[in-house]
């Protein structure tokens, strides 16, 4: 009996030790699991925080250049209409122009039309008190007109004193005078603008010699349809560059409307600073 009791006691001690080891192992495993879970949660929180910190950056690309937009619902509707016109009418026309006219020829046409816009740049340089720059514009015009075959080529860019002169326009003159943008506007066909820049466009149009024959014959109520050719050609030749800018602003944008608005305002602010 004593032998059986001793044997039973030894078995109980062994079982107790085994249960203790199992409990300790289970506790350690649970602790490790809890630590792993905590680590995963912490990692998830860090990732979420990282995403949260990155999210405003995506929105900030639309908030860099602030502008009043009280007409946003109307502007968005016009933006959509313009986008449809660009996609189904004017973009195919622009692509056809690029196919028919090789790039070197298009470059020459662009140079010639930009050279003719000399009065726009000269007058606005003078109105801003930038007389040195007005002189540079005059020098560029004569060098490119005479040496560049009516402006098809730009030899003035090889002259250090005349190279890389920032272009001025009427809206930039208004900005220099302290006139604010006013509300943001999406114009039919023309797209992004503001009240100030819209008035500036009218000034640029009046100063551009390309439009002078049209204005003259229209005021005289003449039937000479050829007077609309230069303005139409000017619009056609500018389409590829304008669509490149538009596509850059809207490509992969979460909200193309906001992206175009921000890009436009940033570009105008940069132009005014030069």
Q: Would you write out the chain's pLDDT as a tens digit for each of its 274 residues? A: 444 444 444 444 444 443 344 444 444 444 444 444 444 444 444 444 443 344 333 334 444 457 899 999 999 999 999 999 999 999 999 999 999 999 999 999 999 999 999 999 999 999 999 999 999 999 999 999 999 999 999 999 999 999 999 999 999 999 999 999 999 999 999 999 999 999 999 999 999 999 887 666 555 555 555 556 777 888 899 999 999 999 999 998 999 999 999 999 999 999 888 8
* Cα separation, 106 vs 96, whole angstroms: 12
**257 within 8 A of 75, measured Cβ to Cβ:** yes
**207 within 8 A of 119, measured Cβ to Cβ:** yes
**75 within 8 A of 264, measured Cβ to Cβ:** no
E-assigned strand segments in 121-183: none
Would the pTM of this model clear 0.95, i.e. be above it?
no
* Cα separation, 95 vs 169, whole angstroms: 28
- Rg of the chain over Cα atoms, rounded to whole angstroms, equals 35
φ/ψ region of 149 (left if φ > 0, alpha if ψ in -120 to 50, else beta) reads left
For residue 231, count CB atoms less than 10 angstroms from its CB and return exposed for 0-12, middle for 13-18, buried for 19 or more: middle
């Amino acid at each position: 009996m004593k032998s059986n009791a001793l044997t039973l006691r030894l078995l109980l001690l062994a079982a107790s030790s085994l249960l203790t080891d199992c409990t300790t192992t289970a506790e350690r495993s649970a602790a490790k699991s809890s630590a792993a879970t905590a680590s995963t949660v912490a990692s998830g929180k860090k990732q979420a925080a990282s995403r949260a910190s990155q999210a405003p950056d995506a929105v900030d690309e639309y908030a860099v250049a602030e502008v009043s937009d009280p007409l946003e619902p109307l502007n968005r509707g016009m933006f959509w209409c313009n986008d449809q016109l660009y996609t189904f009418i004017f973009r195919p026309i622009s692509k056809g122009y690029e196919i028919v006219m090789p790039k070197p020829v298009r470059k020459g046409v662009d140079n010639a039309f930009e050279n003719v816009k000399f009065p726009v740049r000269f007058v606005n340089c003078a109105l801003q008190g930038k007389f040195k720059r007005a002189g540079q514009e005059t020098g560029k015009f004569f060098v490119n007109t005479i040496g560049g075959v009516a402006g098809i080529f730009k030899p003035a860019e090889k002259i250090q004193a005349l190279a890389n002169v920032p272009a001025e326009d009427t809206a930039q003159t208004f900005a220099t005078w302290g006139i604010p943008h006013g509300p943001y506007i999406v114009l039919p066909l023309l797209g992004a603008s503001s009240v100030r820049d819209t008035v500036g466009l009218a000034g640029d149009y009046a100063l551009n010699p390309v439009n002078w024959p049209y204005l003259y014959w229209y005021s005289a109520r003449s039937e000479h349809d050829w007077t609309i050719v230069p303005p139409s050609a000017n619009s056609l030749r500018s389409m590829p560059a304008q669509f490149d800018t538009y596509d850059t602003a809207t490509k992969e944008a979460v909200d193309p409307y906001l992206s175009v608005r921000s890009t436009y305002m940033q570009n105008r602010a940069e132009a005014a600073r030069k």
